[in-house]
Chains A and B, each alone.
Chain A
């Protein structure tokens, strides 16, 4: 069964079908979308059953897509190649769950529902496609395909400054993807497929790009070529994904996009789109350019540390609840970068774990901000106090989300961060990629994280009840909101208490990832 293709194309086809339904049947569209989401959850469960945990690629689907013979420079070959492994499988699972919750949270969208849900479905397919594609061209197509729906979703259904935010988001991410495109063109023209020895076949297959033997001797990106452009290629590709991640100083699109996007889209943006940045670094940048990764390891780790501290400081200074959460995302994604930079098994596993965990927790955080915004249309922290006395259930979920996010043991965030710190501290003695002082500085980020969350709780939820905003009634959570928050809270706890559930998938990937580095002789001589 082509499970992955079903996951990718069922939403896209449904979106096209939805376009044919007259817009006046407004009730059809959310039900249709949620139906697709539930179907995806079932498909994912089937995938879990069929997934063999042995560190190899699973559920591979391979079909030829574009084969062009190009007179003087051989053949161009792009395939429809999708598969999952320990890196992408948890992220696909995350996507399926988050998209379901995003649909639930957009139940009451009132403006052109047809367009909204059609775009949400397209976005859904494109995100899963990006996580599963192992052909660079296919990945790039899905990657770009996310931008247009996102542009409209932020720009039409967003907050007051939505137009500015959506254009900024689109331009920034496109700049990143152009960097990726530049390297992609260089890469496929430098790599030949080992399947065909009679003729030069330029392939987009990422697995072939990860093997230095497949590079055409003397080509621009071949490691043995003198004056090779590999380091430049590493920098461009890395920046391309760092914009998406986002790492400081490429993060400036994020606060605007997050603050202006409607709740469901903020959730998707934080929980899934940012992960594509981290995923891209782990799938493309590091395995294809290990030499660049070693050369620039200080920069990568340093960028991670700066993101951790700078994001946390900004969060501390934010007056808007959503902006605070947005900056906390920058801070948490900095940990991912630090873990990746260490290139140790623990660090890599921690980075993947942190991505999944941040996906769950940030989704919760944005939903929480959305719940409040739905009621009062105001997100300024200082306009609230003593909410705990009025909204008890809500406060409980806020506490869970905040504590999970600041890395309290027992929640998933803790496991990810601890693993990253293990990796980062080991790195100096093991492969000398990350200096000891960097994780030491990064621990300051944990402290700051605790500070801004606890301070927010103190300001908004404790003390006498007062709200300085226009609102009709401050009700506690509805059933629908429960249905969105509860699964996420359970997942955050579950992955915090039983990390083995996830690590069983992630570890084989992290081990093969680092062993590949050993085989390249990079870790051997510190």
Chain B
């Protein structure tokens, strides 16, 4: 057991989260009283809060692994890295939403999800996992219905029902684990020792139940079925956010739990095979289903299922190099997915886009968002000169070396399936550039006015994606210093 750290001394380690809580309270009060420029002020306040929180996390670098709150949370570089990522994802989403009239609740829910995700990144205890995961999930269900129309409510309801089942699985799995090990702290020696000794089949059932709930958040196959409906019906900025922050929060949790159940390689089951299998299935099913889609958001939903497969591919190695590659991928994924959905949002605000054919010729009337969308899609495909290529190169390099070291054929299959799927992915990603630029502009199409801040955001994201390709050393150097201990 960890030394129980006192609550007051622990508070110093969660200042970013405290800032978020305070900011939530302030937004709540401000939302009641403000009449004019409400959304601008709210976004400004939360934006400043999130940036301060980011500064705090970065300021305290490097974070010594320190159990806090009686060992339920732990601060370390790994968690800090993802906290920065979640906070950035949250601020960027708010920046996109600045365009529209953001209700108070909207801003609060986004902050709540970021808060939950940050806590999740630090969780070392199933109780905190459960609480923070629910914070993320419940806020997500509400956000998904934020368009307040029939299909949006339906999507939200679907998300809620399936999400509840996932949570139920998680709770059941956790209860089984508690019964076997007598502890909920999955980083503790007691947890590892009992699991190594008992080797009962029940552990596997519990582990699968827990991981199912986590994979639901990552939208990995076979727990992906909710994603297309929700993505299609929810407001686009919300989808941008849901496809990034909760998904990456799920990924962090997945890495932690899988490493815990891997028992330093002493588990009866080779978890690499399981993860590789899920990854192969996600890539294949995500990409092949995306081929048939005509709705752009639905297509991106399936693409994001396939991306989940690529995120898991690095984890499948269960070694440090693979997890580092995945962290790099996570950053790039955040940038490119946000860019894709942001530009999509700009187009949608101007004109409804129920099918991709509605993009016909828009590249000529809105050059900047259209080319940014093309760059985002090229990055999602994984072609140079975008960071999407570098990220895939690193993930697949780690896969190759893991295969070369272990001789585990499933890793080679994942390597080949993943790379060959780039061609499949290109086919459906290409549909949007195809309509944007290759088709004629329908007569009478007015030019799109995108606000200055909108264009600025898009250009910043594009530069980031290309810069990370030209110079991945800085980010990767930062990631490389993160040693991961459970």
Contact = CB atoms under 8 A, between A and B. Distances in A.
A46 interface: no
Contacts of A189: 397, 400-401, 404
B420 A178 contact: yes
Contact of B383 (A76, A147, A162): A147
Most central of B320, B397, B419 by chain A CB within 10 Å:
B397
What secondary structure prevails in chain A residues at the interface with B?
Answer: helix
A238 to B, nearest CB: 17
B396 A72 contact: no
A73 B378 CA distance: 29
Contacts of A219: 404
B393 interface: yes
8 contacts: A71-B320, A144-B389, A163-B434, A170-B426, A174-B383, A178-B420, A185-B397, A188-B397
Given A73-B321, A156-B437, A141 B477 contact: no
B324 A175 contact: no
Contacts of B480: 68-71
Contacts of B321: 70-73
Contacts of A167: 427, 430, 434
Nearest to A71: B320
Interface string A240-281: 000000000000000000000000000000000000000000
Given A72-B321, A155-B437, A189-B400, A182 B416 contact: yes
Interface string B387-416: 001000110111011001000000000011
A164 to B, nearest CB: 11
A112 B401 contact: no
Nearest to B424: A171
Interface residues of A, number: 38
Interface of A: 66-73, 76, 112, 137, 140-141, 144-145, 147-148, 151-152, 155-156, 162-163, 166-167, 170-171, 174-175, 178, 181-182, 185-186, 188-189, 219-220
Interface of B: 319-321, 324, 364, 378, 383-385, 389, 393-394, 396-398, 400-401, 404, 415-416, 419-420, 422-423, 426-427, 430, 433-434, 437-438, 471-473, 476-477, 480
Contacts of A112: 364
Contacts of A170: 426, 430
A72 B480 CA distance: 10
B383 A144 contact: yes
Nearest to A190: B404
A37 to B, nearest CB: 23
Contact of B472 (A68, A151, A155, A188): A68
Most central of B396, B427, B430, B433 by chain A CB within 10 Å:
B430
B416 A145 contact: no
A178 B472 contact: no
Given A144-B383, A145-B384, A167-B434, A68 B473 contact: yes
Contacts of A148: 378, 383
A167 B404 CA distance: 35
A155 B401 contact: no
User: 3 tightest CB-CB pairs across the interface, nearest first?
Assistant: A141-B384, A155-B438, A71-B320
B340 to A, nearest CB: 16
Contacts of A71: 320-321, 324, 480
B438 A156 contact: yes
Most central of B384, B385, B433 by chain A CB within 10 Å:
B384
A144 B384 contact: yes
A155 B400 CA distance: 36
Contacts of A188: 397
Contact of B477 (A68, A155, A166): A68
A181 B419 contact: yes
Contact of B393 (A69, A145, A166, A185): A185
Nearest to B328: A68
Nearest to B374: A148
A186 B427 contact: no
Given A70-B480, A155-B434, A178 B319 contact: no
B374 to A, nearest CB: 8
A140 B430 CA distance: 20
A371 B60 CA distance: 69
A145 B385 contact: yes
Contact of A72 (B319, B400, B437): B319
B287 to A, nearest CB: 13
A182 B433 CA distance: 26
Nearest to B416: A182
